[in-house]
Structure 1
Amino acid sequence: MGSTGRDEEAVAAAEVTRADFPEGFIFGVATSAYQIEGARKEGGKGDSIWDVFADNKEHILDGTSGEVAVDHYHRYKEDIELMAKLGFGAYRFSISWSRIFPDGLGKEINEQGVAFYNNLIDFMIEKGIQPYATLYHWDLPHNLQQTMGGWLSDKIVEYFALYAEACFANFGDRVKHWMTINEPLQTSVNGYGIGIFAPGVCEGAAAEPFLAAHHQILAHAASVDVYRRKFKAVQGGQVGFVIDCEWAEPFSDKMEDQAAAARRIDFQLGWYLDPIYFGDYPESMRQRLGDHLPKFSEKERELIRNKIDFIGLNHYTSRFIAHQQDPQAIHFYQVQQMERIEKWNTGEGIGERAASEWLLIVPWGLRKAINYIVKKYNNPVIYVTENGMDDEDDQSAPLDQVLNDTKRVGFFKGYVGAVAQAIKDGADIRGYFAWSFLDNFEWAMGYTKRFGLVYVDYKDGLSRHPKASAMWFSRFLNGEAADIKPDTN
């Protein structure tokens, strides 16, 4: 373990500037459809699994839902204008599958849904913001879950490819950066294993998360295949896969701790990237999961081989990892035979905690995660597609207090600095997206956590107010001439 992390943190903490990044490097913000759009019953949209999941108030900490969310569906122009004013060059948004095909089946396209995203994309471009589109950010059409088990059915691969093709055909003349599936690990484990996310499947069967993952990998590859065969020559875009990874730092120099940390990364990055780059799941997963881990046929291996133009990395936090022979944990974590540790062996915490229990602020972990990807996957093109931290929602605090998010400013200084260091190390990183542009519906946490650069006042008609972190980014991107001040009115 040593002092490498602390040394790197000191380097990253030096004031980072826009000049530390190459020409053409893109800085953007990110959101997802269910978390911000609202308009559940408008524009011909069908229900998604999150619409139905959140109907059960017990599933969400504060009993809320994304039915209205922060009303981006009606306020998208206001949001894009603010994004542009702050100086961001790109916006990573997600398309709601059930706005395009309300039943998910890919037969009858919903023209109202197409029109909404056309208007959104056109307005982005008008304001000088590049669109980066995610096809799937967890909001599966409910009909596909209800009729065939969603991601547990191999039929989903075909339906996802039809949906992707419709998006490429309708938006690909302007969208040049596509992401197929966002954080498939979260869908697999939390949606089809633990059941704390939609669709809430928690059957206790150890194989289900791995089957859901298998079909997501195949769906990703099938949509890349469609793009390359039918659209690439004319549209000239790129298609990536967005993986989330918490950095795993070995707790000690012991071989068993080193192996446990490597295994932990296999169960995050390797699970989804090894099949695409090397043709199969990591050996450490095969050893521990046996028949619970699906096998790729030769035809499937051919389909998935090198079906990726860039890796999208969602990264928030890091832990020390030690070997543990028989951890008392749910199956997915138990089979990894590891313990996640939050303190250095001196007893000092690895990093300050954000609002969420799981989110510790460890900037050097991002640099290490990127360098791991560079080494293992032969220096692929990388975008940091999500990175950010949350505050607790405090309805009693005055507006000027909640806008002064100094901890988030420090977070972004550290993590953006870590990206600059990774580029100096030789990583081919093309862009960075802060999560999230707006405070929003935070899945099972409802509105109790705020990740936004922009404060949304839930008591005052969902009015938008840039926080100090948005101001920091504006100065970072535009120089000290940025004329935006925190809006406390």
Structure 2
Amino acid sequence: MTTNKVPDGFPAGFLWGGAVAANQCEGAWQEGGKGWSVADINRFRDDLALEKKYNEEITTQDIAAAIADNEGVYPKRNAIDFYHTYKDDLKLLADTGMNAFRTSINWSRIYPNGDDAEPNEAGLQFYDNLIDEIIARGMTPVMTLSHYEMPLNLTTAYSGWYSREVVDFFVRYCETVFSRYQHKVKYWIIINQINLISHESFNHLGIAEDKVDNLAEAKYQGVHNEMVACAKATQIARKINANFRIGMMFADGISYPATCKPEDVLATVRRNQMEYFFGDVLLRGKYPGYAFRFFAEKNIEVKFWPGDEEALRHTADFLAISYYYTRISDSESVKKRKTSYANPFIKASDWGWGIDPVGLRIKLNLYWDRYQVPIMIAENGIGAFDNPDASGEINDDYRIDYLRAHLAQVKEAIRDGVQVSGYFPWGPIDIVSCSSSEMSKRYGLIYVDLDDYGNGSAKRSLKKSYAWYQKAIASHGEEI
């Protein structure tokens, strides 16, 4: 018997994929019976510095203004028109050798108002067709059920996830989708990046700040309702198909202590606990003690409804993470609203996101040690300005360097004993940026000829990184 059980490389059955979101690629925002979603009011701003381009809090007046606005630019409404081009786009993606593809189901295509009595058959049929095409191209579908596509009516007629009624609306939506695609989809991520309640807050929770008295408290009540809904949906999913694999997902937000000063380390530990919080509930099945202390110190009251604690026992099967950058914290920063800041020891992208491949190995080990469930890297990538040369080629060596370095660290984490089930570069085809609603922040292996204003031919062309990913997949990660 040998004690040498260190894995040699990526495991058999590893999911080599790519990930997008419906609201950032589909377009066709008023076709097929789709209703308004929260993403449809994300406006592109060209008067802001790069680091300032992100979605802010929203009021009901802002919503009304966006609906009535005929002059502003709202790129997610048309995006890259994946709704009509998905067959050709999926062929290009499958030709990389990908064996998996992650996208989302736009909630507002299935229940246009969120509280509709019956689902929209045209929306269901679109995803029938899309999923069939993913499978026909040899890729395993990984479907996200809520990826910033909440029906806008749930914000205006209710108060987004702060309203308890939304729990039942969402669970009904999940049951509809689980039942419809039970023989086509195995892997489900219920909520994308459930921990994002400070930035991307409105897109995530749909809570207009003027509809609640205490926005901070409303966010935590909203995410509590959301976690209960996830657990209830998980229970239903297992009754529909015992082979389903249900994932909970958060954006990696664990920060490093800025120094070894005990006060900085303790402050960072306590800060990071509230990043783990969402996984501790959805993967361990109950609220941790540190969360109750956090709420008490912040004068936040989270209401538990009868049956909530029992419902939360229905935990997820795997952890999905998005990983883009790392930051650092100290005792002073944690006292402030902005609890982390840039690490001076690493380089950053043009948007200020610190590039830290080793951090991915660190985080994978931390999550594995804490949860002991398979981990899917559901998003990883670098947004950059991609400029075709005189011959039209895009030599994005910076993207290759980024992905290569991160994949190398994934391999090291696997050798550490972490069970990593898949790797999904974000936006393998150029899509509209989530936070800044711009096309010029590109992640793709495939270039889409559209600018921030929707101008261009929309022609697809392959970047240098496309061939690199083909080789990486063909070698099962041995040649990166």
TM range (shorter): 0.7 to 0.9
Give secondary structure in 2 for the equivalent of 1:214.
helix
| Partner AA of 1:241 in structure 2 | M
Aligned residue number for residue 470 of structure 2? 474
Give secondary structure in 2 for the equivalent of 1:443.
coil
By how many angstroms is 1:224 displaced?
0.3
> Equivalent of 2:266, from 246, 254, 259?
259
> Equivalent of 1:222, from 218, 228, 232?
232
Aligned pair count reads: 439
Task: Quickly say closer, same or farther: Cα 1:220–1:77, change in 2 above 3 A.
Answer: same
> What are the Cα deviations for residues 158-195 of structure 1, in whole angstroms up to 9, with x where unaligned?
11110001111111211000110001222x32354xx5
- Mapped to 2, the partners of 1:440 and 1:138 lie a distance apart of 15
- Mapped to 2, the partners of 1:208 and 1:189 lie a distance apart of 12
- Mapped to 2, the partners of 1:69 and 1:56 lie a distance apart of 16
Give secondary structure in 2 for the equivalent of 1:445.
coil
* Structure 1 contact 247–368 (Cα < 8 Å) conserved: no
Task: Quickly say closer, same or farther: Cα 1:26–1:277, change in 2 above 3 A.
Answer: closer
Task: Quickly say closer, same or farther: Cα 1:101–1:387, change in 2 above 3 A.
Answer: same
Aligned residue number for residue 436 of structure 2? 445
| Partner AA of 2:377 in structure 1 | V
> Equivalent of 2:220, from 202, 210, 226?
210
> Equivalent of 1:307, from 315, 339, 342?
315
Greater Cα offset, 290-299 or 197-206: 197-206
* Structure 1 contact 324–339 (Cα < 8 Å) conserved: no
Aligned residue number for residue 374 of structure 1? 368
By how many angstroms is 1:355 displaced?
2.5
Give secondary structure in 2 for the equivalent of 1:91.
strand
Task: Quickly say closer, same or farther: Cα 1:23–1:392, change in 2 above 3 A.
Answer: same
By how many angstroms is 1:289 displaced?
2.9
Q: Residue 431 in 1 paired to residue 439 in 2?
A: no
Greater Cα offset, 248-257 or 414-423: 248-257
- Mapped to 2, the partners of 1:196 and 1:239 lie a distance apart of 22
Task: Quickly say closer, same or farther: Cα 1:58–1:352, change in 2 above 3 A.
Answer: closer
Q: What's the Cα RMSD here?
A: 2.6
Task: Quickly say closer, same or farther: Cα 1:444–1:371, change in 2 above 3 A.
Answer: closer
By how many angstroms is 1:129 displaced?
0.8
Where structure 1 has 5 or more consecutive residues not aligned to the other structure, the ranges are 1-17, 344-348, 481-489
| Partner AA of 2:158 in structure 1 | M
| Partner AA of 2:447 in structure 1 | Y
> Equivalent of 2:380, from 371, 382, 387?
387
By how many angstroms is 1:283 displaced?
3.7
Aligned residue number for residue 12 of structure 1? none
- Mapped to 2, the partners of 1:376 and 1:120 lie a distance apart of 36
The percent identity for this pair of structures is: 30
Aligned residue number for residue 414 of structure 1? 405
* Structure 2 contact 248–316 (Cα < 8 Å) conserved: yes
By how many angstroms is 1:57 displaced?
9.6
Give secondary structure in 2 for the equivalent of 1:301.
helix
| Partner AA of 2:199 in structure 1 | N
Task: Quickly say closer, same or farther: Cα 1:43–1:323, change in 2 above 3 A.
Answer: same
Give secondary structure in 1 for the equivalent of 2:307.
helix
Task: Quickly say closer, same or farther: Cα 1:257–1:282, change in 2 above 3 A.
Answer: farther
- Mapped to 1, the partners of 2:102 and 2:204 lie a distance apart of 22
Aligned residue number for residue 348 of structure 2? 353
Identify, as 1 or 2, the structure richer in strand: 1
Greater Cα offset, 128-137 or 259-268: 259-268
- Mapped to 2, the partners of 1:43 and 1:471 lie a distance apart of 35
- Mapped to 2, the partners of 1:200 and 1:214 lie a distance apart of 13
- Mapped to 2, the partners of 1:164 and 1:326 lie a distance apart of 37
| Partner AA of 1:375 in structure 2 | D
Runs (4 or more) in structure 1 with deviation over 6 Å come to 55-62
* Structure 2 contact 268–334 (Cα < 8 Å) conserved: no
Q: Residue 250 in 1 paired to residue 260 in 2?
A: no
How is 1:14-163 mapped onto 2 (pairs within 5 angstroms)?
20-54=9-43, 63-163=73-173
> What are the Cα deviations for residues 350-391 of structure 1, in whole angstroms up to 9, with x where unaligned?
x2211222x1110111111111111112x1111111111100
- Mapped to 2, the partners of 1:64 and 1:311 lie a distance apart of 32
By how many angstroms is 1:457 displaced?
0.6
TM-score by length of 2: 0.85
Task: Quickly say closer, same or farther: Cα 1:319–1:56, change in 2 above 3 A.
Answer: closer
Q: Residue 319 in 1 paired to residue 314 in 2?
A: no
